[in-house]
Structure 1
Amino acid sequence: MSSLDVLRRLAAAQARDRVLAFGIAASLGWLALAGLLALFGPETESQGAAGWLIWLLGLLLPLALIWLAVWSARALLLLRTEAEELRATLARMQGEAGAEPLPPAAEPRPEPRPAPAPRRAAIPAPPPRPAADSRQATLELDSPPAAELTGPELFFALNFPDGPEDREAIRCLRLALADPGMARLIRAAQDVVTLLAGQGVYMDELVVPETDAALWHRFAEGARGEPVAGLAVIGDENALRIAGTMLRGDEVFRDVAHHFLRHFDRLLSRKAQDGEPQLLAVLAESRSGRAFTLLAQVTGMLGRAGAGPEGMTEDEQP
């Protein structure tokens, strides 16, 4: 199951819970109203058993209708979720045909918890897109043609969708997966993020202060170590320790992490040639960018003393 499937199931479960809460609230409201009618309404003692039977039916019938509606809505949400998962599975099967296979052990783990969206206002505004692109807001089975992503589209793809209703991020992710090189980066980033999440390191919980775009430009041009030490801004010692331990002791994670670092580094180098250094800093705020900063800090690419795991040799550096 992919991270998007996990998010989709979480959103569907929350929707079913909201329907259940609505049913409980409606039932309590109806019972309260019936109680008020019984206290202040006309006397029913003279009506005998038939009157009480009618009153009881009038009390229970609305409750039955309420819970029939609740059951129907929850069943419909479940069916809709299963249909979306089937469409997503078919789309992945089409998109991954002939793509580079991932390491067998790099199956997706539990996805990070959703959190408020990172700062996106600094991304340069994209040019108007043709009206036909509005069709990509839904999860069609036909993959869109490969095209150069704008700054916002690249950010949304690297940040991953927040759920099945995050249609813009899903559209951007599909655009990125249509390009073989970007698809390898996205899948490597997803593996790294989910493997770290399996050890309790969530990208949404990392405090990453805003960094200098000029430093990212220098990094993209090949600077390493102390000249770009200002990019080593992650101060979560627990996250650094866990990431370092995984790099030292988990061969599968080390291979996936180095694969991800290489591809993200190449992306930064390409974007640095476009003359938009601010875009590099914005991309570093995405979930993929935070994972890159964490691993680059741990491996010593950013040159902070104590940032890397003890015992990591040069051969283990990406």
Structure 2
Amino acid sequence: MSLVARIATLAQRDAITTTGIVLSGVWLFLVALFWLLAPGGEGTQGGIARLVVMVGTILPLVLIWLAVRTARAIAVLRAEAADLRQRLAQLRDTAAPRGAPRMAEPEPLAEPDRQPRAPAPVPVAPRPLSRPLAESRSPAAPAEGRALDPVDADTLILALNFPDGPDDSLAVSALRRALQDGDHARVLRAAQDVVTLLAGQDLYMDDLPPDPAPPAVWRRFAEGARGSAVAPLGGIHDAAALDIASSLLERDEIFRDTAHHFLRHFDAMLMRHLPDMDDAQIAVLAETRSARAFMLLGRIAGVFG
């Protein structure tokens, strides 16, 4: 937790404690006032009467300090959550210039052109994966009443690799097109978060070429096979990368949640689309930055045995 967040939390906790002390004092004052002003009774009080008096006096104090403790814990959790969100935003801002994909704020759609809306075939031949990745722009939602054409496999593959720079028009166009589909947008944003966090640790997917797995193994994975049956998918063996990612999964709660979120969505995407891809498309998919992150984290998480 940052120093500012810690100071703010301590100040809030002190205010809560002061409130608890004031409420306790008010209650004890009311109890004392009751004893002073209550008419005297005849005879000696029985045991049950004394027990009721004790419970009636102590129980409100217990409830007050239970509420104080709960409020202090909530204040700490809120401060920690705000600090973690700030850390994640700082990681994104510092990692983006060094190779992490970044999707900017949406821009309004241009006037629809008069050409057919079906995307043109996109070449998916392997191309060099450079370290710098420039900003790409995410599209706004389509105009009301316009039905979206399905995103073809070649467009999805280009989007999963993210653009190499502002001049990578094919990848930028593919990314914008894929982000208009809700399912694809969830996968791409989850992949973006994971790759950004890894880049913040100087771990870049461009530096981690995997050992190629046969397309048949990818197909078995899409059909539900797990463990040793799909072990070749854990084809990233860089010891330093595995150590860094494993350490992040163990000690960083934000990264752990982000990684598991990404693994679930990428897994679901493979099950939906891999059966419709040919072997060449699967081979190119396995070389994308998103797939490399999936292979790295899946290996550490034990998805591949």
Shorter-chain TM-score category? 0.5 to 0.7
Q: Using structure 1 for the length normalisation, give the TM-score.
A: 0.53
Change (3 A) 1:242 1:140: closer
**Quick check: 1:156–1:169 contact (8 Å CA) kept in 2?**
yes
Q: 2:96 aligns with which of 111, 117, 137?
A: 111
**Equivalent residue number for residue 187 of structure 1:** 189
**Equivalent residue number for residue 289 of structure 1:** 291
Structure number with bigger Rg: 2
Question: Which aligned pairs between 1:116-265 and structure 2 lie closer than 5 A?
Answer: 146-265=148-267
Query: Can you give the 5+ residue segments of structure 2 that lack an aligned partner in the other structure?
Result: 1-83, 100-114, 121-135
**Quick check: 1:271–1:280 contact (8 Å CA) kept in 2?**
no
**Quick check: 1:112–1:203 contact (8 Å CA) kept in 2?**
no
2:212 alignment partner, SS class: coil
Query: Can you give the 5+ residue segments of structure 1 that lack an aligned partner in the other structure?
Result: 1-102, 115-129, 304-318
Change (3 A) 1:218 1:247: same
**Equivalent residue number for residue 74 of structure 1:** none
* Partner amino acid, structure 1, of 2:248: M
Change (3 A) 1:184 1:290: same
1:111 alignment partner, SS class: helix
**Quick check: 1:146–1:175 contact (8 Å CA) kept in 2?**
no
> Distance in 2 between the 1:280 and 1:192 partners?
21
**Equivalent residue number for residue 303 of structure 2:** 301
Cα drift, residue 132 of structure 1: 5.8
**Quick check: 2:222–2:275 contact (8 Å CA) kept in 1?**
no
Deviations 1:156-215 (CA, angstroms, capped at 9, x unpaired) = 110111111111111111111111111111111000001001001100010213220000
* Partner amino acid, structure 2, of 1:169: A
> Distance in 2 between the 1:286 and 1:266 partners?
17
> Distance in 2 between the 1:285 and 1:214 partners?
16
Change (3 A) 1:158 1:248: same
**Quick check: 2:222–2:270 contact (8 Å CA) kept in 1?**
yes
* Partner amino acid, structure 2, of 1:213: P
Cα drift, residue 225 of structure 1: 1.2
Cα drift, residue 253 of structure 1: 0.5
**Quick check: 2:96–2:196 contact (8 Å CA) kept in 1?**
yes
**Quick check: 2:158–2:174 contact (8 Å CA) kept in 1?**
yes
> Distance in 1 between the 2:170 and 2:176 partners?
10
Cα drift, residue 139 of structure 1: 7.0
Deviations 1:211-233 (CA, angstroms, capped at 9, x unpaired) = 20000010111111111112221
* Partner amino acid, structure 2, of 1:111: A
Change (3 A) 1:168 1:142: same
**Quick check: 2:139–2:179 contact (8 Å CA) kept in 1?**
no
Question: Which aligned pairs between 1:60-139 and structure 2 lie closer than 5 A?
Answer: 104=85, 106-107=88-89, 108-109=92-93, 110-111=95-96
> Distance in 2 between the 1:252 and 1:242 partners?
15
> Distance in 2 between the 1:186 and 1:134 partners?
19
Change (3 A) 1:167 1:143: farther
1:215 alignment partner, SS class: helix
Across the aligned residues of Structure 1 and Structure 2, the Cα RMSD in angstroms comes to 2.9
Q: Using structure 2 for the length normalisation, give the TM-score.
A: 0.55
Cα drift, residue 131 of structure 1: 5.7
Cα drift, residue 274 of structure 1: 2.3
* Partner amino acid, structure 2, of 1:178: Q
> Distance in 1 between the 2:140 and 2:296 partners?
35
> Distance in 2 between the 1:270 and 1:276 partners?
14
* Partner amino acid, structure 2, of 1:235: H
**Quick check: 1:248–1:254 contact (8 Å CA) kept in 2?**
yes
> Distance in 2 between the 1:140 and 1:258 partners?
23
Of 202-211 and 188-197, more deviation after overlay is shown by 202-211
